[in-house]
Amino acid sequence: MTSDKTNIRILLAEDNVINQIYIKYLLTKHGFIIDTANNGLQVIEKFELNKYDIILMDGHMSKMDGFEAARIIREKTKNSDYQIPIIGISGYDIDKDNEKVIDARIDAYLPKPINEENLIKLINEFTTRKG
C-alpha cells in the first residue's frame, strides 16, 4: 500500500456520537478517509458494500456489539487472502474484555480516551503491512 494516507479508508464503528465526531476529526486531519457505523449491524452492512483498509471497532455498541461484528467479519473473510485489520477501541477495562478480544480475533486494542499518537501509529503499522 502506498504511504499516501489519502488512500487509506477507515471504517469507524462507534455508537457514541461525541466519540465518533472526535475520532473522525483526529483521523481526517491526518488525511484518512473515514466512514462511520453506529452499531455492529451497520458495520457488517458497510463492510459488505465497501472496501476498507482498516476497521476501528468499539467493543460495546447497541444492536450488535463490536466483538460479534468482528467475529462475523472474520468468518466472512476466512478464505480470503486479505484479513482486514481490526483495532478494538473501548472505554471498558481490557482485562474484562481480553477474552472477547481474543475470541473475535481483534488485531490490536486501544483504550478510551483515545491517544491520538498511539492511534495514528497503529493505523500506520497495519496499513503499511498490506501489499
Q: What percent of the residues of the chain are helix, what percent strand, and what percent coil, each to the nearest 5? A: 45, 20, 35
What residue ranges define each of the domains in the chain, with the CATH number in brackets?
A: 5-128 (3.40.50.2300)
> Rounded to an integer, what distance in angstroms lies between the CA atom of residue 55 and that of residue 85?
6
- Model pLDDT, residue 31: 94
Confidence grade of residue 59 (pLDDT, cut at 50, 70, 90): confident
Judged on CB neighbours under 10 Å (0-12, 13-18, 19+), 62 is exposed
- Model pLDDT, residue 1: 36
- Cα Rg of the chain, angstroms: 13
DSSP bridge pairs for 33: 9
Angle at 116 between CA 50 and CA 98, to 5 degrees: 75
Residue with cell 494516507: 5
- Model pLDDT, residue 62: 87
Q: Is the pTM of this model over 0.85?
A: yes
Which residue did the predictor score with more confidence, 4 or 14? 14
- Model pLDDT, residue 96: 62
